Amino acid sequence: MTDPVLTEAKGSVLTIRLNRPEKKNAISLAMYEAMTAALKAAAEDPAARVAVIRGGEDFSAGNDIADFLAAGGESGLTPIVDFLDALSTFPKPLVAGVRGAAIGIGTTLLLHCDVVLASATARFQLPFIQLGLVPEAASSLLLPAAVGRLKASWWLLTGEGFDADAAFAAGLITKLVADETLDAELDAAAAHLAALPPAALRQTKALLRGPQEAAVREAMTREVEAFGAQLKSAEAREAFTAFLEKRKPDFSRFG
């Protein structure tokens, strides 16, 4: 069975590749644990100066809902919280390359990256509301800061998807590139960063992140509490049941 998360150290760049194409890189709890371990190892390894997160034809379709529900819903939050902690505190440059689907966590994790390249095939969506849930990964704080309050409100309150052009225009991604050159440009960006003074890079990232560091931790705590409460709600039960039954949810009876 192919490992759904692959890691490769090449020179001073560590690549974390989501490798579950049959599920559009939907992230299982085991995948969260593997990515957390990879980020922690890279953070402590002096040979790793830059980390890269990439997918294949799709970046990530978000959480694997069936796996999440099988773990007992709220009890399945721990691997996700651990990953978000490792992601948000990662001390070195973090680069992401996006093509295809970038849904839910596939979009919100980008808010913690320092460089995000995307091809024209990238499609973004934050469908938490459609699942009876709330934002995560401090996106309730970081998304308005990145793209503006009104744009963030629309994307989070409606769950409406948007394309790579809209993401670039809003400031969610660093650079739009041709699909056929995405991998090469991602390698070039990581190599460029890896060749720079490593201590200065780490200190610069810390300075950039510093003003929001406490606020990010607080936002994540609030979001996890709200997320856990919503998981127990009738709204979420209806949304998840409809998802698994491949039908449209009916929220008309909820006040």
- Three-state DSSP class for residue 47: coil
pLDDT of residue 76: 78
Residue 27 DSSP code: B
Beta bridge pairs of residue 94 = 51
The gap from C-alpha 59 to its chain's centroid, in whole angstroms, comes to 9
Classify residue 228 by burial, with Cβ atoms within 10 Å: 0-12, 13-18, 19+. Answer: middle
pLDDT of residue 71: 82
pLDDT of residue 82: 97
Residue 179 DSSP code: G
Amino acid at the residue 226:
A
Average pLDDT of each block of 10 consecutive residues along the chain (255 residues)?
92 98 97 98 97 98 90 82 98 98 98 98 97 97 98 98 98 97 98 98 98 97 95 92 92 89
pLDDT of residue 51: 98
Composition of the chain by helix, strand, coil, percent to 5 = 55, 15, 30
Amino acid at the residue 240:
F
pLDDT of residue 1: 64
48, 12 Cβ separation under 8 angstroms: yes
pLDDT of residue 196: 98
pLDDT of residue 251: 95
Return the domain boundaries, the chain. Answer: 1-180+198-255
Cα separation, 255 vs 57, whole angstroms: 40
186, 52 Cβ separation under 8 angstroms: yes
Domain 1-180+198-255's class?
alpha beta
114, 89 Cβ separation under 8 angstroms: no
pTM for the full model? 0.96
